Amino acid sequence: MKTSRWMEVVNLCLLFCFLGGGLAYGAEMLLRGFGAISTVQAFKEFGVVVSPHWQAYAEDFISFVNGVGRLYLPVIVGVPLVFLIHFVAIGPKGFEHRGRRISFYGLFTRFLHWMCAIFFSLVVVSGLMVVFAKVLGGGSLVLSARTIHLFCAYGFMVFAAPLFLIWVKDMFPALYDFKWLLCGGGYLSKRKVEVPAGKFNFGQKMWFWLAFVGGAVMFYTGYVVSGLSLPQAQIAGYVKIHLILGLFIVALFITHLYMSLFAVKGSLRSMISGYKWEEEVRVLHSRMLK
Protein backbone atom coordinates (compact mmCIF):
# COMPACT_ATOMS: atom_id res chain seq x y z
CA MET A 1 0.00 0.00 0.00
CA LYS A 2 2.79 2.30 1.05
CA THR A 3 4.73 1.36 -2.10
CA SER A 4 1.84 2.21 -4.40
CA ARG A 5 1.51 5.68 -2.76
CA TRP A 6 5.18 6.31 -3.44
CA MET A 7 4.67 5.15 -7.01
CA GLU A 8 1.83 7.62 -7.42
CA VAL A 9 4.08 10.46 -6.22
CA VAL A 10 6.86 9.41 -8.60
CA ASN A 11 4.44 9.12 -11.51
CA LEU A 12 3.03 12.54 -10.74
CA CYS A 13 6.52 14.03 -10.63
CA LEU A 14 7.40 12.41 -13.95
CA LEU A 15 4.16 13.71 -15.44
CA PHE A 16 5.00 17.24 -14.29
CA CYS A 17 8.50 16.89 -15.66
CA PHE A 18 7.23 15.81 -19.08
CA LEU A 19 4.54 18.46 -19.17
CA GLY A 20 6.93 21.16 -17.97
CA GLY A 21 9.60 20.11 -20.44
CA GLY A 22 7.07 20.03 -23.26
CA LEU A 23 5.73 23.47 -22.37
CA ALA A 24 9.25 24.90 -22.07
CA TYR A 25 10.21 23.42 -25.44
CA GLY A 26 7.02 24.78 -27.00
CA ALA A 27 7.66 28.24 -25.56
CA GLU A 28 11.23 28.12 -26.85
CA MET A 29 9.99 27.20 -30.33
CA LEU A 30 7.41 29.97 -30.21
CA LEU A 31 9.94 32.57 -29.14
CA ARG A 32 12.83 31.55 -31.35
CA GLY A 33 11.45 29.40 -34.07
CA PHE A 34 8.01 30.70 -34.90
CA GLY A 35 7.94 31.75 -38.55
CA ALA A 36 11.70 31.93 -38.64
CA ILE A 37 13.62 31.14 -41.81
CA SER A 38 17.21 30.07 -42.09
CA THR A 39 19.81 32.57 -43.28
CA VAL A 40 20.34 30.55 -46.43
CA GLN A 41 16.61 30.51 -47.14
CA ALA A 42 16.49 34.28 -46.59
CA PHE A 43 19.35 34.83 -49.05
CA LYS A 44 17.47 32.74 -51.59
CA GLU A 45 14.44 35.00 -51.14
CA PHE A 46 16.64 38.11 -51.49
CA GLY A 47 17.98 36.65 -54.72
CA VAL A 48 14.45 36.46 -56.10
CA VAL A 49 13.92 40.15 -55.31
CA VAL A 50 17.30 41.44 -56.48
CA SER A 51 18.01 39.53 -59.69
CA PRO A 52 15.52 36.76 -60.32
CA HIS A 53 16.65 35.69 -63.80
CA TRP A 54 20.32 36.61 -63.78
CA GLN A 55 21.60 33.06 -64.05
CA ALA A 56 19.34 32.44 -67.03
CA TYR A 57 20.42 35.36 -69.23
CA ALA A 58 23.69 36.88 -67.99
CA GLU A 59 26.26 34.40 -69.33
CA ASP A 60 24.66 34.53 -72.76
CA PHE A 61 24.48 38.34 -72.67
CA ILE A 62 28.12 38.74 -71.66
CA SER A 63 29.37 36.55 -74.52
CA PHE A 64 26.96 38.20 -76.99
CA VAL A 65 28.07 41.74 -76.18
CA ASN A 66 31.70 40.75 -76.52
CA GLY A 67 31.08 38.94 -79.80
CA VAL A 68 28.73 41.19 -81.75
CA GLY A 69 31.04 44.20 -81.65
CA ARG A 70 33.54 42.24 -83.71
CA LEU A 71 30.99 41.77 -86.50
CA TYR A 72 30.63 45.49 -87.17
CA LEU A 73 34.21 46.00 -88.40
CA PRO A 74 33.91 43.41 -91.20
CA VAL A 75 30.64 45.04 -92.27
CA ILE A 76 31.88 48.63 -92.42
CA VAL A 77 35.09 47.55 -94.13
CA GLY A 78 33.86 44.57 -96.17
CA VAL A 79 30.73 46.07 -97.74
CA PRO A 80 32.48 49.21 -99.09
CA LEU A 81 35.32 46.99 -100.29
CA VAL A 82 32.88 44.86 -102.31
CA PHE A 83 31.46 48.04 -103.86
CA LEU A 84 34.93 49.38 -104.56
CA ILE A 85 35.69 46.20 -106.48
CA HIS A 86 32.37 46.61 -108.32
CA PHE A 87 33.17 50.23 -109.14
CA VAL A 88 36.61 49.37 -110.47
CA ALA A 89 35.68 46.15 -112.28
CA ILE A 90 32.26 47.07 -113.69
CA GLY A 91 31.84 50.77 -113.05
CA PRO A 92 28.79 52.98 -112.68
CA LYS A 93 25.78 52.96 -114.91
CA GLY A 94 25.31 56.12 -116.96
CA PHE A 95 22.23 57.12 -118.90
CA GLU A 96 21.57 59.76 -121.48
CA HIS A 97 20.22 62.84 -119.85
CA ARG A 98 17.97 63.92 -122.68
CA GLY A 99 14.55 63.14 -124.01
CA ARG A 100 11.52 62.81 -121.81
CA ARG A 101 11.77 63.37 -118.06
CA ILE A 102 9.52 61.25 -115.91
CA SER A 103 8.24 62.53 -112.60
CA PHE A 104 9.30 60.22 -109.80
CA TYR A 105 9.17 62.06 -106.49
CA GLY A 106 6.91 64.94 -105.47
CA LEU A 107 8.20 67.95 -103.55
CA PHE A 108 6.80 66.76 -100.21
CA THR A 109 8.23 63.26 -100.75
CA ARG A 110 11.66 64.69 -101.52
CA PHE A 111 11.51 66.91 -98.44
CA LEU A 112 10.58 63.94 -96.26
CA HIS A 113 13.27 61.80 -97.87
CA TRP A 114 16.03 64.31 -97.22
CA MET A 115 14.94 64.92 -93.66
CA CYS A 116 14.93 61.16 -93.07
CA ALA A 117 18.30 60.91 -94.81
CA ILE A 118 19.88 63.55 -92.58
CA PHE A 119 18.55 62.04 -89.35
CA PHE A 120 19.17 58.46 -90.44
CA SER A 121 22.75 59.19 -91.47
CA LEU A 122 23.41 60.85 -88.14
CA VAL A 123 21.82 57.92 -86.31
CA VAL A 124 24.04 55.46 -88.17
CA VAL A 125 27.24 57.46 -87.71
CA SER A 126 26.59 58.18 -84.03
CA GLY A 127 25.58 54.54 -83.49
CA LEU A 128 28.83 53.37 -85.04
CA MET A 129 30.66 55.79 -82.77
CA VAL A 130 29.05 54.03 -79.79
CA VAL A 131 29.96 50.60 -81.21
CA PHE A 132 33.56 51.72 -81.74
CA ALA A 133 33.67 53.75 -78.52
CA LYS A 134 36.86 52.06 -77.36
CA VAL A 135 38.73 53.15 -80.49
CA LEU A 136 37.53 56.72 -79.89
CA GLY A 137 38.59 56.60 -76.26
CA GLY A 138 35.07 56.74 -74.83
CA GLY A 139 34.19 59.65 -72.57
CA SER A 140 32.49 62.89 -73.57
CA LEU A 141 32.90 62.43 -77.35
CA VAL A 142 30.94 59.18 -77.32
CA LEU A 143 28.50 60.56 -74.74
CA SER A 144 27.74 63.38 -77.19
CA ALA A 145 27.34 60.79 -79.96
CA ARG A 146 24.79 58.99 -77.77
CA THR A 147 22.85 62.23 -77.32
CA ILE A 148 22.85 62.79 -81.09
CA HIS A 149 21.82 59.15 -81.56
CA LEU A 150 18.79 59.65 -79.31
CA PHE A 151 17.78 63.03 -80.77
CA CYS A 152 18.11 61.88 -84.37
CA ALA A 153 16.17 58.68 -83.70
CA TYR A 154 13.17 60.80 -82.68
CA GLY A 155 13.75 63.08 -85.70
CA PHE A 156 13.88 60.15 -88.10
CA MET A 157 10.63 58.68 -86.77
CA VAL A 158 8.77 61.97 -87.20
CA PHE A 159 9.61 62.20 -90.92
CA ALA A 160 9.68 58.47 -91.61
CA ALA A 161 6.04 57.89 -90.65
CA PRO A 162 4.48 60.00 -93.47
CA LEU A 163 7.11 58.85 -95.98
CA PHE A 164 6.30 55.25 -95.14
CA LEU A 165 2.62 55.89 -95.91
CA ILE A 166 3.46 57.58 -99.23
CA TRP A 167 5.74 54.77 -100.46
CA VAL A 168 4.29 51.63 -98.91
CA LYS A 169 1.84 50.88 -101.75
CA ASP A 170 4.72 50.52 -104.24
CA MET A 171 6.91 48.50 -101.93
CA PHE A 172 5.16 45.15 -101.76
CA PRO A 173 7.14 42.33 -103.41
CA ALA A 174 6.08 41.25 -106.89
CA LEU A 175 6.87 38.12 -108.88
CA TYR A 176 9.26 39.95 -111.21
CA ASP A 177 11.38 40.91 -108.19
CA PHE A 178 12.70 37.35 -108.24
CA LYS A 179 13.95 37.88 -111.79
CA TRP A 180 15.52 41.16 -110.71
CA LEU A 181 17.35 39.28 -108.00
CA LEU A 182 18.54 36.61 -110.44
CA CYS A 183 20.05 39.16 -112.82
CA GLY A 184 21.66 41.05 -109.94
CA GLY A 185 19.51 44.10 -110.60
CA GLY A 186 21.40 44.66 -113.85
CA TYR A 187 24.41 45.95 -111.94
CA LEU A 188 26.67 43.04 -112.81
CA SER A 189 27.46 44.50 -116.23
CA LYS A 190 27.46 47.90 -117.92
CA ARG A 191 25.04 46.71 -120.60
CA LYS A 192 21.77 48.59 -120.62
CA VAL A 193 19.44 45.61 -120.53
CA GLU A 194 15.95 46.17 -119.22
CA VAL A 195 15.64 44.80 -115.70
CA PRO A 196 12.24 43.83 -114.31
CA ALA A 197 11.29 46.50 -111.78
CA GLY A 198 8.40 48.87 -111.17
CA LYS A 199 8.74 52.28 -109.60
CA PHE A 200 11.02 50.68 -107.05
CA ASN A 201 13.28 47.71 -107.71
CA PHE A 202 13.69 44.82 -105.31
CA GLY A 203 16.82 46.32 -103.78
CA GLN A 204 14.97 49.53 -102.98
CA LYS A 205 12.10 47.51 -101.55
CA MET A 206 14.43 45.60 -99.25
CA TRP A 207 15.99 48.86 -98.13
CA PHE A 208 12.54 50.39 -97.59
CA TRP A 209 11.35 47.62 -95.29
CA LEU A 210 14.62 47.42 -93.43
CA ALA A 211 14.93 51.18 -93.01
CA PHE A 212 11.33 51.88 -92.04
CA VAL A 213 10.10 48.76 -90.25
CA GLY A 214 13.59 47.88 -89.06
CA GLY A 215 14.06 51.53 -88.13
CA ALA A 216 10.89 51.44 -86.04
CA VAL A 217 12.10 48.29 -84.30
CA MET A 218 15.46 49.97 -83.71
CA PHE A 219 13.67 53.01 -82.31
CA TYR A 220 11.58 50.97 -79.89
CA THR A 221 14.40 48.70 -78.75
CA GLY A 222 16.67 51.73 -78.38
CA TYR A 223 13.98 53.51 -76.39
CA VAL A 224 13.74 50.56 -73.99
CA VAL A 225 17.51 50.22 -73.68
CA SER A 226 17.93 53.95 -73.06
CA GLY A 227 15.25 53.88 -70.36
CA LEU A 228 16.63 50.87 -68.45
CA SER A 229 13.24 50.63 -66.79
CA LEU A 230 12.39 47.01 -67.62
CA PRO A 231 13.81 43.93 -65.87
CA GLN A 232 17.43 43.32 -66.85
CA ALA A 233 16.67 40.06 -68.67
CA GLN A 234 14.25 41.84 -70.99
CA ILE A 235 16.61 44.75 -71.63
CA ALA A 236 19.30 42.21 -72.52
CA GLY A 237 16.96 40.84 -75.20
CA TYR A 238 16.33 44.33 -76.59
CA VAL A 239 20.07 45.03 -76.71
CA LYS A 240 20.55 41.88 -78.78
CA ILE A 241 17.83 42.82 -81.26
CA HIS A 242 19.19 46.38 -81.50
CA LEU A 243 22.75 45.27 -82.22
CA ILE A 244 21.95 42.47 -84.69
CA LEU A 245 19.38 44.49 -86.65
CA GLY A 246 21.78 47.44 -86.59
CA LEU A 247 24.35 45.28 -88.36
CA PHE A 248 21.99 44.68 -91.32
CA ILE A 249 20.86 48.29 -91.40
CA VAL A 250 24.44 49.55 -91.55
CA ALA A 251 25.20 47.10 -94.38
CA LEU A 252 22.19 48.22 -96.45
CA PHE A 253 22.80 51.88 -95.55
CA ILE A 254 26.25 51.63 -97.12
CA THR A 255 24.65 49.87 -100.10
CA HIS A 256 22.11 52.70 -100.47
CA LEU A 257 24.89 55.28 -100.32
CA TYR A 258 26.89 53.49 -102.99
CA MET A 259 23.90 53.06 -105.29
CA SER A 260 22.77 56.66 -105.01
CA LEU A 261 26.16 58.35 -105.03
CA PHE A 262 28.30 56.15 -107.32
CA ALA A 263 26.55 53.18 -108.97
CA VAL A 264 23.92 55.06 -110.97
CA LYS A 265 25.00 58.41 -112.35
CA GLY A 266 22.37 61.09 -111.86
CA SER A 267 20.59 59.12 -109.14
CA LEU A 268 21.31 61.77 -106.54
CA ARG A 269 20.13 64.52 -108.87
CA SER A 270 16.82 62.72 -109.45
CA MET A 271 16.11 62.77 -105.72
CA ILE A 272 16.76 66.54 -105.78
CA SER A 273 14.81 67.42 -108.92
CA GLY A 274 12.17 64.70 -108.57
CA TYR A 275 12.62 63.52 -112.21
CA LYS A 276 14.42 60.65 -113.89
CA TRP A 277 15.40 60.58 -117.57
CA GLU A 278 13.45 58.24 -119.82
CA GLU A 279 16.37 55.94 -120.68
CA GLU A 280 17.13 55.28 -117.02
CA VAL A 281 13.49 54.50 -116.29
CA ARG A 282 13.25 52.25 -119.38
CA VAL A 283 16.26 50.21 -118.23
CA LEU A 284 16.10 50.22 -114.44
CA HIS A 285 12.32 50.57 -113.93
CA SER A 286 11.07 48.91 -117.11
CA ARG A 287 7.67 47.92 -115.74
CA MET A 288 6.72 51.53 -115.18
CA LEU A 289 6.53 52.25 -118.87
CA LYS A 290 4.58 49.10 -119.76
Partner 1 sequence: MARMKFLCDIERCIDCKGCVIACKEGNGVPVGINRRRVITINQGKPGERSISIACMHCSDAPCIAVCPVSALYQRDDGIVLVNKDVCIGCGYCFIACPFGVPQFPKGDTFGKRGVMDKCTFCAGGPAPNFSEKERRLYGQNRIAEGKVPLCAAMCSTKALLAGDGDKIARIFQERVARRGTGGKAPGWSTVYK
- Would you tell me which residues interact with partner 1 (CB under 8 A)? 32-43, 45-46, 49-51, 54, 58, 61-62, 65-66, 69, 130-131, 133-134, 137-139, 142-143, 146-147, 150-151, 154, 225-228, 232, 235-236, 239
Smallest separation, CB 132 to partner 1 (Å): 9
Identity of the residue, 76 or 210, whose beta carbon is nearer to partner 1 in the bound complex = 76
Smallest separation, CB 21 to partner 1 (Å): 16
**Secondary structure class of 172 (helix, strand, coil):** coil
**Secondary structure class of 161 (helix, strand, coil):** helix
Identity of the residue, 242 or 285, whose beta carbon is nearer to partner 1 in the bound complex = 242
Q: How many residues does the chain have?
A: 290
Smallest separation, CB 94 to partner 1 (Å): 44
Smallest separation, CB 121 to partner 1 (Å): 19
Distance between CA atoms of residues 194 and 185, nearest Å: 10
Distance between CA atoms of residues 61 and 173, nearest Å: 36
CA within 13 Å, CB half, 142: 13
Smallest separation, CB 227 to partner 1 (Å): 7
CA within 13 Å, CB half, 173: 10
Identity of the residue, 126 or 201, whose beta carbon is nearer to partner 1 in the bound complex = 126
Identity of the residue, 127 or 186, whose beta carbon is nearer to partner 1 in the bound complex = 127
Identity of the residue, 112 or 243, whose beta carbon is nearer to partner 1 in the bound complex = 243
Distance between CA atoms of residues 243 and 248, nearest Å: 9
Strands (E), the chain: 101-103, 275-277
